[in-house]
Homo-oligomer: A and B are copies of this chain.
Amino acid sequence: MPEAVALVAHSGGPTPVINASLGGVIERARQHRRIGKLYGARFGIDGILREDFIDLFAQSERKLAAVSRAPSSALGTSRRRITQKDGERLLRVFRAHNVRQFFYTGGNGSMITACEIAELARQSGYELQVIGIPKTIDNDLAETDHSPGYASAARFFACAVRDLGGDNRALPGQVEFVEVLGRHAGWIVAATALARQEPDDAPHLLYLPEIPLPLDQLLQDVNSVFRRLGRCVVAICEGQLDERGEAFGADVRPGSRGQLAMNLGHRLSLLTAQKLKLKTRSEKPGLLARASLAFPSQLDWDEARLCGQAAVDAAENGKSGVMVTLVRGPGPGYSAATACAPLEKVACGEKRFPAEWRHPAGGDVAPAFFDYAAPLVGSIERYERLK
């Protein structure tokens, strides 16, 4: 019988801090005597099926420290969902390499896969511990206060809106749409509100995709801001739909929950130019927000690493079928600790943007959201202005 092996794999889109979680796993696994070998799967499930592994204990400390600071996924990742056949093959690979601990880093869909793998192992009597490590910029994972990756993407967009707001202020007479990631969840777009430091700062309008947005309302809001300030910056989530559930005529691709627009900012910019006869533009930084470490949230990085470490601890404590979660301490002041939640509860849940954090008047968030998000995102540096 070969030595017992622990295996870590990534799933879904990379984040700026997914490698910090990987670093946390490696670091803690080295400290535990029971783990003799730690493999990383190249390109997630695909790599496991191909037996394409990296021996992570063979990497130098210097390299691992540098990798854990890099954005994107150092192992490579995959969006593959497993078929029955895949599942059988996975178990054969696990048996062949004597994989006894499986750390799976991902979001909602990935935790469903983790559940399935745990169940397959149980059914065939193969002893395997499955531990989920949370990762999603969309912040919609259930059972955890927030997910590693969210704060950095939120920070990226808050800084982007600050900067585009500065441009719009310096060269007014234009309406600027900033298309924001987050799929159908408002967590990231809401965080652009953190860019505001004075009442007339961008974003002048931000919409939560949880609430349908009639085009007429958008146009009325934009017109009102433009009449007042002579400029306007709108933060719009890629998953925003109108009152008929349509993406304003944008090109769409199928998403996890209905269609996801590919060019929503541009589409709204065209419609606004046509209907209001205003000069408009749109920007779509898109995946840069998950691929760039230009605006790191140090807290996010620290917590991502912590979640990797906690996953190994959970396995060492005999746990299985759980995902590591972040639990916020009681205030005042921010603190968080890790815990574990059953994978089933995560897999069938979804962290929705609380209705009470929506601004009653629409086009904004309520102040309560700031208490939640500000400590995660960190302070947004303000650029000095002439008066």
Of chain B, the residue at the smallest CB distance from A75 is B386
Partner of A266, one of B63, B171, B251: B251
Q: Is A353 an interface residue (CB 8 A)?
A: no
Interface residues of A in 20-53 (CB under 8 A from B): 40, 43
Q: How many residues of A contact B (CB 8 A)?
A: 56
Q: Which B residues are in CB contact (< 8 Å) with A159? A: 292, 294
| A169-B72, A266-B263 known; A294 vs B294 contact (CB < 8 Å) | yes
Q: Which B residues are in CB contact (< 8 Å) with A383? A: 66, 69-72
The smallest beta-carbon distance between A105 and chain B, in angstroms, is: 12
Q: Is A259 an interface residue (CB 8 A)?
A: no
Of chain B, the residue at the smallest CB distance from A59 is B386
Q: Is A167 an interface residue (CB 8 A)?
A: yes
Segment touching B, from A281-289, A300-308, A354-362: A281-289
Q: Is A342 an interface residue (CB 8 A)?
A: no
User: Is B283's CB under 8 angstroms from A166's CB?
Assistant: no
Q: Which B residues are in CB contact (< 8 Å) with A171? A: 13-14, 73, 76-79
Q: Which B residues are in CB contact (< 8 Å) with A172? A: 43, 76
Q: Which B residues are in CB contact (< 8 Å) with A270? A: 251, 262
Tell me the bound Cα distance from A283 to B288 in angstroms: 8
User: Is A170's CB under 8 angstroms from B384's CB?
Assistant: no
The smallest beta-carbon distance between A266 and chain B, in angstroms, is: 5
Tell me the bound Cα distance from A78 to B279 in angstroms: 14
User: Is A170's CB under 8 angstroms from B295's CB?
Assistant: no
Centre residue among A76, A169, A285, A286 by max chain B CB count within 10 A: A286
Q: Which B residues are in CB contact (< 8 Å) with A176? A: 287
The smallest beta-carbon distance between A113 and chain B, in angstroms, is: 16
| A70-B385, A170-B73, A262-B266 known; A288 vs B285 contact (CB < 8 Å) | yes
Tell me the bound Cα distance from A67 to B290 in angstroms: 30
Chain A window 352-387, contacts with chain B (Cβ cutoff 8 Å), 1 for yes, 0 for no: 000000000000000000000000000000011110
Q: Is A299 an interface residue (CB 8 A)?
A: no
User: Is B283's CB under 8 angstroms from A287's CB?
Assistant: yes
User: Is A284's CB under 8 angstroms from B287's CB?
Assistant: no
Tell me the bound Cα distance from A157 to B294 in angstroms: 12
| A169-B76, A294-B295 known; A384 vs B70 contact (CB < 8 Å) | yes
User: Is A164's CB under 8 angstroms from B384's CB?
Assistant: no
The smallest beta-carbon distance between A371 and chain B, in angstroms, is: 27
User: Is B77's CB under 8 angstroms from A40's CB?
Assistant: no
Interface residues of A in 60-87 (CB under 8 A from B): 63, 66-67, 69-79
Tell me the bound Cα distance from A269 to B74 in angstroms: 26
Q: Is A160 an interface residue (CB 8 A)?
A: yes
Partner of A288, one of B40, B73, B160: B160
Q: Is A201 an interface residue (CB 8 A)?
A: no
Q: Which B residues are in CB contact (< 8 Å) with A63? A: 384, 386
Residues of chain A having any CB pair with chain B under 8 Å: 10, 13-14, 40, 43, 54, 59, 63, 66-67, 69-79, 159-160, 163-164, 166-167, 169-172, 176, 251, 262-263, 266, 269-270, 281-288, 290-295, 383-386
The 9 A-B pairs of least Cβ separation, nearest first, read A66-B384, A72-B166, A70-B383, A283-B286, A167-B291, A73-B170, A294-B294, A163-B291, A284-B284
Given contacts A70-B385, A71-B166, A72-B166, 17 further A-B contacts (CB under 8 A): A63-B384, A67-B385, A69-B384, A70-B384, A71-B163, A72-B167, A72-B170, A73-B170, A73-B171, A77-B171, A78-B171, A159-B292, A160-B288, A251-B266, A266-B266, A281-B287, A294-B295
